[in-house]
Chains A and B, each alone.
Chain A
Amino acid sequence: MKKTQEKQVNPAGFVRGGAEIVKAERAEENVVTHRLSIPKAWKMYVGGAFVRSESGRYFQVVGATESADATTTNIPLASRKDFRDAMGVAQAAQPKWAARTAYNRGQILYRLAEILEARSEEFVRSLVRGGATEAEAALEVAAAIDRSVYYAGFADKLGALLASSNPVAGPHFAFTVPEPIGVFAVLAPQKLPLLGLVTTILPLVCAGNTVVAIGSDLDPRTVITFCEALATSDFPGGVINVLTGRAKELAPWFVKHREVRAIEAYSDDAALLTELERGSADAVRRTKTHHAVAREWFFDDRRGQGLGFLERAVEHKSIWHPVGL
């Protein structure tokens, strides 16, 4: 395959201003065919469907010059209402997701790992287009796949690890069981568009929550490609919803939505994180902020994953039961 950037007329006589025309040479037949490339309309992932912003707005990203695809692309710029709509979808999906067996949630997470593995080359290319080096990208994709498998295995074990039978002074049994919290609003890390998102949202859905996440706006195409993997991995629509847009515009709405039961936010913007913490005080909403986290942290299996992530995804319910009944 050879690519030319200059304007050409295809055999049917159509001229497409500025569009890239791929000139393919089939050597064995010695035929030259011309065709227009078909650029993809990049869309956000809400309720199991790919959607544009209700506002009709876009922002543009440019591929890294070293990548094979250095074109400029339009990405939906999510609005407050997109967030509200996604919240409605996530909220509707949550009880059914939590009602699935932990084993089944684990299977679905494993399926995600399978799909990521099958498309790993595409993810590497995508990350390189987003500015990573070939080696960095390969490392990030591998870590993301392994992390999916990690949480796939954890789904039916976190109950055993986090629940307890409590010794109490009296003729009662007291049990503590972990339960999902509800809908999480997530501000995913800007760096590491794939691994950052995976690290943040998978423990939440593993524990039975649903998620509305704002993906990295530095490399939104990798975020959306990850959503395409989600869409083909047996996750029911609405469990993971991903918006593309500006954190500064969208994240403040996290705390203005009472259905947001908990927040996980990664950002280098300390003021924004403080705003989220302060805004959550009124509703006593569980809010975990992570300021300027280093890249290595995400790759470190002892810090970037673990039971602690799952503990933040559940709330504990204690039940007292009289002995002898």
Chain B
Amino acid sequence: MQSKSPAVVEPVEPSPARRIGLFSLFSSPTVDAVALEERAANLAKRSLKKEAKVAGLKLAISMMDLTTLEGKDTVGKVEQLCRKARRPMEGDGTLPSCAAICVYPNFVTTAKKALEGSTVKVASVATAFPSGLSPLPIKLEDVRRAVEFGADEIDMVIDRGAMLSGDYAKVFDEIARTKEACGPAHLKVILETGELGTYDVVRRASDIAIAAGGDFIKTSTGKVQPAATLPVTLAMLEAIRDHWYATGVRIGMKPAGGVRTAKQSLQYLVMVKETLGDAWLTPDLFRFGASALLNDVLMQLEKERTGFYQASADFSKE
């Protein structure tokens, strides 16, 4: 008998066909809602204290997409937010910068300039955010312009109407075309889980977004309640995990909207670690989309440093 050498599997970049083929879009597993919610609630009970808490909170800052997506945004506000993303707290050089700034396309140039020379990336929402209900050519043009302005990452929205009416092909095609339009920019696909109704639809939308080429899947626009919740994030993390098992490809996750407190951010980190492992505990594969979260994390870090509970009035809003 011929002795076999130990199997060495060369890492292969899977072809798009393989990505899709292994994950038939019409066979997404159903989600056990009760078990999902219970598991998410259980994972939220872990208690992180002292050094582990500080380390977790610093990691959370480095994963933050500091976001401002309001009709009343101004150049001044975006610049101020960029300064905060670079250096979350004056006088504390030990804190990491945030991962990115997330703005509307019109502010990409401003943000890009304000963040020059830093590690902070610029993410732009596009594809007729937040509804996504414009003709596809306009949505693609929106993406191309944002990339042209200098966006490193594009946050797109799916057509939730198409998703809910079962037109999965349309959802898939729009994501694939958007990915094409992104060029070198990373693509995050917003599912807007608050409008999808059930975990089954969320799971299916996740599978479609991953198969169609999304680098990240993201829960929400922040404009719809409920936004990110622990169970819905867990359902999406499980889609990422199953895809990873099947293909070896790591897709990123971004809960957005509704993550307001330092405690919540740690709960999400615990969930990611338990579902996907340490490999995902990096800004390349996990992000928080948030605006209020940063200040609460800073307040908790100051509490750990000084022993005094902090007052929100002592922290700049932007």
Contact = CB atoms under 8 A, between A and B. Distances in A.
Interface of A: 84, 87, 256-259
B307 interface: yes
User: Which range contains the number of B residues in contact with the other chain?
Assistant: under 10
Interface string B277-318: 000000000000000000000000000000111111010000
B308 A256 contact: yes
User: Main secondary structure on chain B at its contact with chain A?
Assistant: loop
Top-10 shortest CB links A-B: A258-B311, A257-B309, A259-B311, A256-B308, A258-B310, A258-B308, A258-B309, A84-B309, A256-B309, A256-B307
A257 B310 CA distance: 6
B302 to A, nearest CB: 9
Contacts, number: 16
B307 A258 contact: no
Interface of B: 307-312, 314
A257 B314 CA distance: 12
Nearest to A83: B309
B272 to A, nearest CB: 26
A258 B307 CA distance: 11
Nearest to B311: A258
13 contacts: A87-B309, A256-B308, A256-B309, A257-B308, A257-B309, A258-B308, A258-B309, A258-B310, A258-B311, A258-B314, A259-B309, A259-B311, A259-B312
A41 B314 CA distance: 39
Nearest to B312: A259
A259 B311 CA distance: 5
Nearest to A256: B308
Contacts of A257: 308-309
Given A256-B308, A257-B308, A258-B308, 10 more contacts: A84-B309, A87-B309, A256-B309, A258-B309, A258-B310, A258-B314, A259-B309, A259-B310, A259-B311, A259-B312
Nearest to B309: A257
A84 B312 CA distance: 14
A166 to B, nearest CB: 28
Contacts of A258: 308-311, 314
A257 B311 CA distance: 8
Nearest to B310: A258
A298 to B, nearest CB: 31
A87 B310 CA distance: 11
Contacts of B314: 258
A256 B302 CA distance: 12
Contacts of B309: 84, 87, 256-259
A138 to B, nearest CB: 42
* Most chain B beta carbons < 10 A, residue from A84, A87, A258, A259: A258
Residue picked from B309, B312, B314, most chain A C-beta under 10 Å: B309
Contacts of B311: 258-259
A259 B310 CA distance: 7
Nearest to B299: A258
B121 to A, nearest CB: 33
Contacts of B307: 256
Contacts of A259: 309-312
B301 to A, nearest CB: 14
Contacts of B310: 258-259
Nearest to A255: B308
